[in-house]
Amino acid sequence: MIADRLRGVASSPTLALAASARALVKEGKPVLDFTAGEPDFPTPDHIQRAAVDAIEHNRTKYTPAAGILELRQAIANDLHRRLGDPVKYAPPEVMVCVGAKHALYNALQVLCDPGDEVLVFSPYWVSYLPLVSLAGAKPVLITTREEEHFQPDPSAVSSAITPNTKALILNSPSNPTGAVIEPQRLRALSELALARRVFVISDEIYDQLVFPPASVRSIVQENPKAIEWTILVNGVSKTYAMTGWRIGYAAGPKNVIDAMTALQSHSTSNPTSISQYAALAALTGDQADVRRMVTEFQRRRDHLVNGLNALPGLSCTMPDGAFYAWCNVSRLSAPADAVARRWLEEALIAVVPGEGFGSASHVRFSFAASLETIDQALKRLKQWLQKPVSRIS
Ligand SMILES: Cc1ncc(COP(=O)(O)O)c(C=O)c1O
């Protein structure tokens, strides 16, 4: 009854655990929640006011399918301001979508034919595999190793490329590992993509949530020639605490952006007009809130990751960006979903098990949670790990 292309495409595998966590909260249990995929800060005031202003001025009608020109220009200006001189997009090379996820969806739909392959680094963000499958293509996984801080290996990519390879997805900083791809690896990947005529879909949604002294580079900065083969995806969701507003964007070759716009014109028509004006205020307004958020995330990251590494049986690489700690639980000798379930039931700590990201050896903590919550969780975990019965055998 349901179309074949949806076979195997299920809702997020993390939902069951999240539902149990919510049920416990409803019962009044003091659950410490580390599952959030969104900043816990409010959308800054000036952005909220821009949305109210858009409503009051009746900017509440259809917009062009690719988004209002002012916003597309602001995105182009913002990319140029942040990524530097060779990165010059014109508005026709930019489109606004209903979140970065929708930009990824549009890009994969217009690039892929049945039988095409799309290279994805593992661990991966949970939506990449369904997004690729929905486009009729086959995801091909390339493992990255914890010992190498989850850096992609260009030679593994080279070996994985076949005549069917259509695209390579990059995500730096990464959800779930927080890894930032090193510049020389980006350069090697861009050269491979150019030589082998493979599109790069570069998901840069966390690129402003990077913790000094770390810094992130975009593939289009590292090799400006890559612009012709790259669909750069970003948005306002994470940087400006605007996940619910649903505004993301894609920048890339005009023919690809035109095809994505045509697809969008027949699906969502356009992203919400009011949210587009809010996003315009986000990109053109004061950036102080972004800096404050990064500083706070960094304090929490340090506390959480150092705390986890001090606990027996757990280890965690230091994430350079995003707001996730990817904690190795393999020494507890049980799959991550069993560990996550027991932490929830026995310590009232909710984390996301790694299976949905491609690893049964890790759980993901979001540090979009207060320092006090982190502190309490570390104490509870310490106690849980001390009980001999707590070890899972
Ligand atoms: C790696 C990655 N890409 C894209 C997205 C989607 O962003 P948006 O909310 O703008 O659709 C997320 C959200 O969790 C993400 O983690």
300-337 pLDDT, tens digit per residue, is 999 999 999 999 999 999 999 999 999 999 999 899 99
101 within a domain of the structure (yes/no) = yes
Q: Which long-range contacts (CB under 8 A, 24 or more apart) does 305-309 make?
A: 307/374, 307/375, 307/378, 308/365, 308/378, 308/381
322 within a domain of the structure (yes/no) = yes
- Give the pLDDT score at 145: 97
Q: Are 299 and 280 found together in one domain?
A: no
pLDDT confidence band for 350 (50 / 70 / 90): very high
pLDDT confidence band for 125 (50 / 70 / 90): very high
What CATH number is attached to the domain comprising 220?
3.40.640.10
pLDDT tens-digit map of 215-233: 999 999 999 999 999 999 9
The domain in which residue 293 lies consists of: 4-42+288-383
pLDDT confidence band for 6 (50 / 70 / 90): confident
Q: Are 316 and 209 found together in one domain?
A: no
pTM greater than 0.95? yes
Question: What mean pLDDT comes out for the span 158-176?
Answer: 98
Instruction: Classify 43 as helix, strand or coil.
Output: coil
CA distance 244 to 205: 15
392 within a domain of the structure (yes/no) = no
Residue that the structure tokens 């990824």 belong to: 104
What CATH number is attached to the domain comprising 11?
3.90.1150.10
CA distance 208 to 203: 12
Q: Are 132 and 155 found together in one domain?
A: yes
Q: Are 159 and 196 found together in one domain?
A: yes
Of the candidates 263, 284, 305, which is a domain's last residue? 284
Does the CB atom of residue 235 touch ligand 1 within 6 A? yes
Rounded to 5, what percent of the chain is helix, strand, coil?
A: 45, 15, 40
388 within a domain of the structure (yes/no) = no
pLDDT at 22 over 90: no
CA-CA distances (angstroms) from residue 325 to 192, 302, 365?
30, 10, 5
Q: Which residue has the higher pLDDT, 240 or 25?
A: 240
Ligand 1: centre distance to CA 98 (Å):
11
Record the tokens describing residue 98, joined without a space: 């209903």
Ligand 1: centre distance to CA 261 (Å):
20
48 within a domain of the structure (yes/no) = no
Strand partners, 365: 325
Ligand 1: centre distance to CA 205 (Å):
6
Atom of ligand 1 nearest to the CA of 38: 14
Q: Are 37 and 122 found together in one domain?
A: no
pLDDT tens-digit map of 180-212: 999 999 999 999 999 999 999 999 999 999 999
Q: Are 256 and 315 found together in one domain?
A: no
Q: Are 297 and 367 found together in one domain?
A: yes
Min mean pLDDT across 12-16, 106-110, 205-209, 317-321 is at 12-16
Q: Are 279 and 154 found together in one domain?
A: yes
Q: How far apart are the first and last CA of the chain?
A: 42
**Residues 68, 281 contacting (CB under 8 angstroms):** no
Q: Which of 97, 238, 324 to mutate to test the pocket of ligand 1 (most atoms within 8 A of CB)?
A: 238
Q: Which residue has the higher pLDDT, 351 or 17?
A: 351
pLDDT confidence band for 389 (50 / 70 / 90): low
Ligand 1: centre distance to CA 25 (Å):
26
Question: What mean pLDDT comes out for the span 244-249?
Answer: 98
Q: Where are the alpha helices (DSSP H) in 266-390?
A: 273-284, 288-309, 336-342, 371-386
Does the CB atom of residue 271 touch ligand 1 within 6 A? no
- Give the pLDDT score at 7: 81
Does the CB atom of residue 172 touch ligand 1 within 6 A? no
Q: Answer left, alpha or beta for residue 227, where phi above 0 means left and psi between -120 and 50 means alpha.
A: alpha
pLDDT tens-digit map of 35-77: 988 999 999 999 999 999 999 999 999 999 999 999 999 999 9
pLDDT at 296 over 70: yes
Q: Are 172 and 222 found together in one domain?
A: yes
CA distance 178 to 317: 9
Q: Are 277 and 345 found together in one domain?
A: no
**Residues 135, 112 contacting (CB under 8 angstroms):** yes
Q: Which of 122, 237, 324 to mutate to test the pocket of ligand 1 (most atoms within 8 A of CB)?
A: 237
Atom of ligand 1 nearest to the CA of 37: 14
34 within a domain of the structure (yes/no) = yes
Ligand 1: centre distance to CA 100 (Å):
6
Of the candidates 268, 284, 300, which is a domain's last residue? 284
Nearest CA to ligand 1 atom 1: 175
Atom of ligand 1 nearest to the CA of 104: 4
CA distance 310 to 303: 11
- Give the pLDDT score at 71: 98
Of the candidates 258, 284, 310, which is a domain's last residue? 284
Atom of ligand 1 nearest to the CA of 236: 10
Q: Are 329 and 362 found together in one domain?
A: yes
- Give the pLDDT score at 154: 97
352 within a domain of the structure (yes/no) = yes
Does the CB atom of residue 248 touch ligand 1 within 6 A? yes
CA distance 271 to 213: 36
Q: Are 128 and 74 found together in one domain?
A: yes
Which run of H or E residues covers position 91? none
- Give the pLDDT score at 230: 98
Degrees, nearest 5: CA angle 354-358-361: 50
pLDDT at 390 over 80: no
Does the CB atom of residue 324 touch ligand 1 within 6 A? no
Total number of domains constituting the chain: 2
Ligand 1: centre distance to CA 57 (Å):
30
CA distance 103 to 92: 15
**Residues 350, 32 contacting (CB under 8 angstroms):** yes
Which run of H or E residues covers position 255? helix 254-265
Q: Which of 105, 108, 175 to mutate to test the pocket of ligand 1 (most atoms within 8 A of CB)?
A: 175
Closest CA to 89 of 185, 233, 198: 233
Does the CB atom of residue 100 touch ligand 1 within 6 A? yes
pLDDT at 391 over 80: no
Strand partners, 353: 363
- Give the pLDDT score at 13: 62
Does the CB atom of residue 37 touch ligand 1 within 6 A? yes
49 within a domain of the structure (yes/no) = no
Sign for the pseudo-dihedral over CA of 253, 113, 201, 63: positive
